[in-house]
Structure 1
Amino acid sequence: MLDHLGMRNVRFLADRGFRDVELMECVWACGRHYRIRIKSSLILADPRGERLCKVKEVKLAPRETRCFHNVTLTGQRFGPVHVVLGHPTDGLEHWQVVSDEPTSVETFAEDGERFQIEEGFLDDKSGFFGLEASRLRDATSLERLVLVTSTATLLLVSEGLQVVEQGLRRVVDPTGSAA
């Protein structure tokens, strides 16, 4: 469908639960790019398969970023891939992302785009649309409900963009009206 719509430059973003080499291979085979968070237990190796280290063995100072280009992952020697590791100033958790394209500090910003998507899933699942509370179990009914909520989301986002473009945000946004 993406090819039919002329959307060629598509990036697949995913959290650690999706760090499956078969998925990475499938995304790459479809001509798409990916940024996937990885676990610290993952093994990095050079292209010949010589073990470099486990991700958690790489010690980073706060605000330090380190890139590993053209490496392979796991005992399966999947690759070549590119990995970027980072230690943010204000957190204990390190950031670790694998990509099919060369990585840099900007890779973290690209990976961060998925948070907008995750907020949308949260809204659909347990927030505004409450799909979890629907108790629907048959695929056809659930598919219809998702179609309705997706259409409503598209309509609301389109309306919101139009309101902002017309400079009317203060009229509809209670947090902006008092300012």
Structure 2
Amino acid sequence: MSNSTPIYSQLFSFLRQYSHYRDLRHLIALAWMVSALICSGQLSLSAWESYVPSRAKKAQSVERRWQRFISNKRIDINKLYVPLVLLALKDWQSHRLYLALDTTVLWNQYCMIHLSVVCCGRAVPFLWLVLEHKSAAVAFEEYQPLLRRARWLLRQHPDVMLLADRGFANHQLMSWLQQSHWHYCLRIPCDVILHGPRRCPREVRRLWPSKGEAVLYRNVGLWEDGIYRCDLVLANIRGVKEPWAVITDESPTLQTLWQYALRFRVEELFLDSKSGAFELEESKIRCADALERLYLVAAVALLFSTTHGMAVQIEGLREQVDPHWRRGISYLKIGLRWLQGVVNKGRPLLMPVPLLINDPQLCFASKKARKKYYDKIWFSRIRSLQCKTI
């Protein structure tokens, strides 16, 4: 019997208890795939043979088992994964939930749209979609289904804020956000026309403040028609290559910049998925639907390992897997190292915990990173202006 059985048993128990499945065989295959991914660190079907017990004598037969799973159109990703992530968010209903919307391109052929939950310095997958699209820029119609599904799933969460980069700021998204009553922090491109800061409409690039200064505008009109009104923060931060222009539905403050900066956590999620923890780009799958199901395996592993890492932190066992005096690696890496130790060193298998609302210990990989984090951003001048509606 394989040494990965304890991990498989716990995974299968959670999937069977909380996921909505059509066939029990789907859960068995998914639990073994996630267990093999955690042990191998490779999101490759051919790399999992030695981690899964099987009556098959040939590696090709084992790989075909996983190929049948990712090619099976009867597998509903949302019904299998969403109940797990909602369970992990059960303590967040009275707290603000930050959702980061972003895209990443695979092999210059497929575009993966991610909607992720920002938590404790990292992002956890929530919903995703894969398109056969060579560019990271996608139309609103492509990611609208993700937003609508997220709004329905999070209907019990009254305080949700969407974070997105410049490629997502458009009329359709602004209209949808106003109807959904979600808060938002969106960065806008420098060629967007603004109404209100000057007597005549001006592009954002003509309003940049001097280096080390910030300007807070209230009631700004966007684009040529100026229909959509919002608040705006323009900041030209020292040491940053490009100034920031961030729009929000809340009162503009320097806190707006901090909230928007949470969006960068999804970049670390992409790094973990592609090369940092799991090697998604090493997979040989070249089909949009199959990639969505393959990423289901990664998403369950990411969520399962992250919640295990938090359990390790709460139990005071972090120093067994993290060589830093204070926490120096993410909860995902802590969880992965602990779970691999369950297989190879006989460590006890802990019960995963819900995603933590407050991080008990911030992560710094070095003293330099810690100093950089606590170095405050100083502005030599901050102005707050009220724009008049024309």
Shared fold, TM over 0.5 = yes
2:234 paired with 1:116: no
Q: Could you say which residue in structure 1 is the equivalent of 2:235?
A: 86
Question: Superposition pairs for residues 51-66 of structure 1, below 5 Å?
Answer: 51-66=200-215
| Alignment partners' CA distance in 2, 1:30 and 1:137 | 35
| Alignment partners' CA distance in 2, 1:26 and 1:132 | 33
Range moving further from structure 2, 1-10 or 28-37: 1-10
- CA deviations 1:78-120 (Å, max 9, x no partner) are 4111110011122342111011222111100000111112211
Q: Could you say which residue in structure 1 is the equivalent of 2:191?
A: 41
1:21/1:78 contact within 8 Å kept? no
| Alignment partners' CA distance in 1, 2:204 and 2:253 | 16
| 1:141, distance to aligned residue in structure 2 (A) | 2.0
- Out of 295, 309, 330, the position equivalent to 1:146 is 295
- CA deviations 1:48-101 (Å, max 9, x no partner) are xx6342211124233321111111111132411111001112234211101122
Q: 1:16 to 1:144 in 2, by over 3 A?
A: same
Q: Could you say which residue in structure 2 is the equivalent of 1:133?
A: 282
| 1:128, distance to aligned residue in structure 2 (A) | 2.5
CA RMSD in angstroms comes to 2.3
| 1:68 alignment partner, SS class | strand
Q: Could you say which residue in structure 2 is the equivalent of 1:105?
A: 254
Normalising by structure 1, we get a TM-score of 0.86
Q: Which amino acid aligns with 2:160?
A: V
| Alignment partners' CA distance in 1, 2:294 and 2:241 | 40
Q: Gaps (5+ residues) in structure 2?
A: 1-149, 327-390
Normalising by structure 2, we get a TM-score of 0.42
Q: Could you say which residue in structure 1 is the equivalent of 2:173?
A: 23
| Alignment partners' CA distance in 2, 1:137 and 1:121 | 18
| 2:228 alignment partner, SS class | strand
Q: Structure 1 vs Structure 2: percent identity of aligned residues?
A: 35
2:278 paired with 1:155: no
1:28/1:100 contact within 8 Å kept? no
| 2:273 alignment partner, SS class | helix
| 1:126, distance to aligned residue in structure 2 (A) | 4.3
1:169/1:176 contact within 8 Å kept? no
| 1:130, distance to aligned residue in structure 2 (A) | 2.6
| Alignment partners' CA distance in 1, 2:295 and 2:178 | 28
Q: 1:123 to 1:89 in 2, by over 3 A?
A: same
1:85/1:94 contact within 8 Å kept? yes
Q: Could you say which residue in structure 1 is the equivalent of 2:160?
A: 10
Q: Gaps (5+ residues) in structure 1?
A: none
| 1:175 alignment partner, SS class | coil
Q: Which amino acid aligns with 1:23?
A: L
Larger Cα-atom Rg: 2
Q: 1:80 to 1:175 in 2, by over 3 A?
A: same
Q: 1:122 to 1:28 in 2, by over 3 A?
A: farther
